[in-house]
Amino acid sequence: MMNCHKEPEFQIRDMASLRGYIAIVTGGNSGIGYETTLQLALKGARVYIASRSSERVNKAISEMRQNSPDLDLHFLKLDLQDLQSIKSTAADFMSRENRLDLLINNAGIMASPWQLTKDGFEVQWQTCFLSHHALTMSLMPLLVAAAQTSGRMDHVRIVNVASDMAFRMGPEAINYQDPNLTDVTGQLAPWRRYGHCKQASIIAAKAITERYQPLGVTAYSLHPGLIKSGLQSHSNNIFGAMTRVAMKVGPTSTPLEGSMNSLFCATTSQAYEHAGRYYVPVQKLDDRANKWLDDPQTVGKLWDLANKQLKEHGFVFEDLPRCYA
């Protein structure tokens, strides 16, 4: 069941000025990430587009600046399939900026065939969830710094772009013993793994909020709606069947519409009132996620699993809540 508010639907014109904000949008050079980046920049934010390809990002920046040549846009190299490169991304960003106001974890892949990354993780688990968690935690000192500087508890936001497939195709709960889902087989296996990693993204937003809201950092998860995008390119011979299933989610017709939930969660006071929760288009709370989000054991186990996986690859994160206590 969805908690459908009677408030007017969020529109771009509802966004306040973001002048002085510094933002990162992963995968911000295409699809809903492109529109998210553009709208943040049009409101005055300095936006870093995090992606592997400087060529694609620079092309996107040129397109965005055709009508607004003064947009403050930058390339940030990011490879979500290489955990060690996440450290380089964070170091690069911290050499350029001393704060981060908005982090939109938007990039992802969908229904990819079975593959392990060089780090030993199933490619969707790492790309859609674990590497974004690594990036988030690596940049947490700058997020906290922005919150402290702003003097506002609702200023700094982390947005995890998830998917309704977390419910439609994912397991009932995170598989903590085998997060790669190696035993899942059959034509639907890529979609099962996709739903699984998006489930983790939803829970991670709650875990981050629980730990960092006292420091002024909150996180949100959302379903953007369904649009035609490059994410669907890995569906191969089951594309037709799975698209018919996915269309039941409720398609959006344009990337701009697909970006609306991200923009709502990143910028509005209404979203802050329900920090850590899962939203569906647009601005509607979806309580299907509450079975995970309201279970402290579920939230805690996902947090511990992610940090354990990252620690095994050399990540060490400062315990900021304790430092500021």
Higher pLDDT, 198 or 251: 198
Q: Domain for residue 9, yes or no? A: no
Residue of 198, 206, 220, 278 with catalytic role: 198
pTM, full prediction? 0.94
Q: Which residues contact 60 (CB under 8 A, 6 or more apart)?
A: 28, 29, 30, 34, 37, 49
Helix axes 296-311, 131-138, angle to 10 degrees: 90
Q: Domain for residue 5, yes or no? A: no
Model pLDDT, residue 248: 52
**Does 206 qualify as catalytic in the annotation?**
no
Q: Which amino acid, 240? A: G
Residue of 21, 48, 194, 278 with catalytic role: 194
Domains held by the chain: number: 1
- The rounded percent of the chain whose pLDDT value lies above 90 is 86
Query: What's the Cα-to-Cα distance from 280 to each of 149, 202, 215, 254, rounded to whole Å?
Result: 31, 12, 27, 16
The answer to whether 107 and 152 are in contact (CB under 8 A) is no
Query: What's the length of the chain?
Result: 325
Query: What is the mean predicted confidence (pLDDT) over 147-158?
Result: 98
Q: Domain for residue 1, yes or no? A: no
Q: Which structural domain, as residue segments, surrounds residue 303?
A: 17-315
Q: Domain for residue 97, yes or no? A: yes
Model pLDDT, residue 306: 99
Whole-number CA gyration radius for the chain: 18
Q: Domain for residue 323, yes or no? A: no
- Of the candidates 89, 195, 191, 180, which has an alpha carbon nearest to the alpha carbon of residue 142? 89
Round to whole Å and give the CA distance between 201 and 207: 10
Answer whether residue 213 shows pLDDT above 70. yes
Q: Domain for residue 126, yes or no? A: yes
Model pLDDT, residue 227: 76
Average pLDDT, the chain: 93
Q: Which amino acid, 316? A: V
Q: Which residues of 39-50 are buried (b: 16+ CB within 10 A; e: fewer)?
A: bbbbbbbbbbbb
Model pLDDT, residue 311: 98
Model pLDDT, residue 245: 56
Q: Domain for residue 10, yes or no? A: no
The answer to whether 238 and 188 are in contact (CB under 8 A) is yes
The answer to whether 72 and 45 are in contact (CB under 8 A) is yes
- Of the candidates 81, 77, 79, which has an alpha carbon nearest to the alpha carbon of residue 119? 81
The answer to whether 121 and 309 are in contact (CB under 8 A) is yes
Structure tokens that stand for 236 in this block: 């191969």
Model pLDDT, residue 5: 45
Q: Domain for residue 3, yes or no? A: no
Q: What is the DSSP letter of 253?
A: S
**Does 194 qualify as catalytic in the annotation?**
yes
Which CATH number characterizes residue 150's domain? 3.40.50.720
